[in-house]
Amino acid sequence: MERNNLYPVFLKAKNLNVLIVGGGFVAEEKLTFLLKSSPDAHVTMVSPMFREGTIALAKKGDVTLIEAAYKKKYLKGKHIVIATTDVPKVNIKVHKHCRKKSILVNVADNPPYCDFYMGGIVTKGHVKVAISTNGKSPTTAKRLRQFFEDVIPENVDDLVKNLNEYRKTIKGDFEQKVETLNEVTKGLIQKKN
């Protein structure tokens, strides 16, 4: 049976430089989700044109808009690249350039040309849940995101903060701390019969 072999990581986007190639609807969607999750992300967008919504959104974050056609020079100093143009030849060129420079790249809606996928994300304070369907069904990821938004309590942040304070008071080594916290939190998630 096929399984999801992706390795999930949570990136500190403020420590990285992100490039979005394209200025259409998909580019705006990627920027929207990126800034929603990481408002402190450093983003550059390069495209011959930008939607009005993208221009307005860029003003709300650390986003640089460059009105130009894509060139390899725009990859300088970038860690992550998302290609969203409606010209497959350009997207594949971006992918090829990124692979040569060992830059992580995502070509929107083209799984074979992706080093990573941008999944569904649920954020409640310090708690963040990321959902992946291995690039197979964004709609399923969206529905699961809605489900988790409903079931994770709004006050989960209080619990996180309180447990963090409690953790600091526990004596003993790492293993003992884990054991104590496991005991304290075992009633947190009740299984429904």
- Which two tokens mark 93? 């060129």
Nearest-angstrom CA–CA distance, 113 and 109:
9
pLDDT of residue 175: 84
In the predicted model, is pLDDT for residue 188 greater than 50? yes
Give the Å distances, CA to CA, from 111 to 21, 32, 64, 137: 17, 21, 27, 11
CATH topology of domain 13-117: Rossmann fold (3.40.50)
pLDDT of residue 107: 97
Place of tokens 């942040």: 157
Taking only the tens place, the pLDDT of each residue in 68-112 is 999 999 999 999 999 999 999 999 999 999 999 999 999 998 989
pLDDT of residue 189: 63
pLDDT of residue 21: 98
Taking only the tens place, the pLDDT of each residue in 53-67 is 999 999 999 999 999
| pLDDT-based confidence at residue 182 (cuts at 50, 70, 90) | confident
Place of tokens 């006050």: 155
Nearest-angstrom CA–CA distance, 72 and 46:
11
Length of the chain in terms of residues written: 193
In the predicted model, is pLDDT for residue 193 greater than 50? no
Q: Which of 89, 42, 51 is nearest to 70 (CA)?
A: 89
Domain map of the chain by residue range?
13-117, 119-152, 156-185
pLDDT of residue 81: 98
pLDDT of residue 97: 98
